Structure 1
């Protein structure tokens, strides 16, 4: 990977809909060269996915909660089971297995407190391996990004 690849990646992470023509004008390569680089970056897994970022508020998902979860038992089987449940929960936007005071940190998006309460009942209270969880309701989304570069 060289500086031209990094320039392409910086532009793509801000707007994945940019055409090869517009990228080529920005990075100083031909559209064909940009297309070849993009193909290589996608095939190698550097570009994992190209997604649309949706507005939670415009879709009625007004409540974001940061949740720290501590498990009772941390065997590989228990960790994998929790990870699988979080992957399948539509309210979980992000899930991180982490070090520190909690085993997992979640970003959960719901329409309201009632939906969040139902989520906690199903995934925390009804789950015997969840020792405790701590919720922090987001007051304002100051910065939301998956940018790396």
Structure 2
């Protein structure tokens, strides 16, 4: 998911933070149950959730799918080095990675590499095809390194809200 541009957002109070903690665990939690848990009325919880959605604090309501349940058995962490760091080069790479469904996460980073990607694929032949298209045959890329995950120890989606 593309990050929305930074805009002025209202400060989150302790109620907003408590609501976020609950909906990040399960966004189908009934609003009356949230209201009870945070000591607010159901209407107040509804207003606060709507405001956080409108302001972009809550960026999306999605289902987290177990990769094993859909035979997405290969998880690869890939370091990608671009040929240069010019804006046009990195923007083209960002567009390519953003528009590749198998790329689950993409981070533009510092420290000697350009990007770190999390890629999920059903098997090695599919992953190999992706590496050819995204990296080996891509004139923007000068090198890449793959780390294949042996075990998904933790794959959280919740953000700790201070």
TM class by smaller structure? over 0.9
- 1:35 equivalent in alignment to 2:46: yes
**In structure 2, how many angstroms separate the alpha carbons of the residues matched to 1:27 and 1:129?**
50
TM-score (norm 1): 0.97
- 1:53 equivalent in alignment to 2:52: no
**In structure 1, how many angstroms separate the alpha carbons of the residues matched to 2:28 and 2:16?**
17
Which residue of 1 is the match for residue 5 of structure 2?
Answer: none
Mark the runs of 5 or more structure 1 residues left unpaired by the alignment.
none
Which residue of 2 is the match for residue 89 of structure 1?
Answer: 100
Q: Which of 135, 157, 160 is residue 146 of structure 1 equivalent to? A: 157
Deviation string 1:44-75 (CA, Å, 9 cap, x unpaired) is: 11111111000111101100000000001211
- 1:10 equivalent in alignment to 2:21: yes
Note the aligned Cα RMSD (angstroms).
Answer: 0.7
Mark the runs of 5 or more structure 2 residues left unpaired by the alignment.
1-11
The count of aligned residue pairs is 149
Matches within 5 A, 1:63-102: 63-102=74-113
2:84 is paired with a residue whose SS is coil
- 1:130 equivalent in alignment to 2:146: no
TM-score (norm 2): 0.90
Runs of 4+ in 1 over 4 A off after TM superposition: none
1:136 is paired with a residue whose SS is strand
Deviation string 1:21-42 (CA, Å, 9 cap, x unpaired) is: 1101111111011001111111
Which residue of 1 is the match for residue 30 of structure 2?
Answer: 19
